[in-house]
Amino acid sequence: MSPEAFNWIAAALQGEPQAYGFPGARWTSGTLGQLIERQFGVKYSRVYVRQIVLNLGLGPRLGRRLRE
């Protein structure tokens, strides 16, 4: 990914998922992964998406999915 792509992801994380058509008030690695795939045409695992977010220093912006 290019530096511009990482900047785009960081900017998207500053907003709410609803602005991009996703339900919920917090980003998850799943929803962010879907957004990355939609924007850039590449599919990453949830683990790698979380690593991208952590590398950007935005870990607190990413919520966790509740398991049943």
Query: In terms of C-beta density within 10 A (0-12 exposed, 13-18 middle, 19 or more buried), how is residue 51 classed?
Result: middle
Q: Global pTM?
A: 0.86
What pLDDT, in 10s, does the model give residues 5-47? 999 999 999 999 999 999 988 999 999 999 999 999 999 999 9
Q: Given this model, what pLDDT does residue 1 score?
A: 86
- State which amino acid sits at residue 45: S
26 secondary structure, DSSP code: S
Please state, in angstroms and rounded to a whole number, the distance separating the CA atoms of residues 12 and 29. Answer: 13
CB atoms within 10 A of CB 67: 4
Report the chain's terminal Cα–Cα distance, integer Å.
Answer: 34
SS3 state of residue 16: coil
User: Domain residue spans in the chain?
Assistant: 3-61
